[in-house]
Amino acid sequence: MKVSFEVGGRGDFIVELDEKVIFSKKALKDGERFPEVGEISKLIKEN
């Protein structure tokens, strides 16, 4: 598993796991939002 942090622009928040996007604030169907508590951990375990 590769974990890194990059400063981006335009207010996006993207989480990648092994070069695959598992969370993107701007790509959500329910609108732009940051992840809920525990959401990223859950996504990592599912992938």
Question: Is residue 19 included in any domain, yes or no?
Answer: yes
Which structural domain, as residue segments, surrounds residue 25?
Answer: 14-46
Question: Is residue 27 included in any domain, yes or no?
Answer: yes
19 burial (CB, 10 Å; 0-12 / 13-18 / 19+) is: exposed
Question: Is residue 6 included in any domain, yes or no?
Answer: no
Question: Is residue 9 included in any domain, yes or no?
Answer: no
Rg of the chain on CA atoms, in Å: 11
Question: Is residue 4 included in any domain, yes or no?
Answer: no
Question: Is residue 1 included in any domain, yes or no?
Answer: no
Question: 47 falls in which pLDDT band (50, 70, 90)?
Answer: confident
Question: Is residue 42 included in any domain, yes or no?
Answer: yes
Share of the chain above pLDDT 90, in %: 26
Number of separate domains in the chain? 1
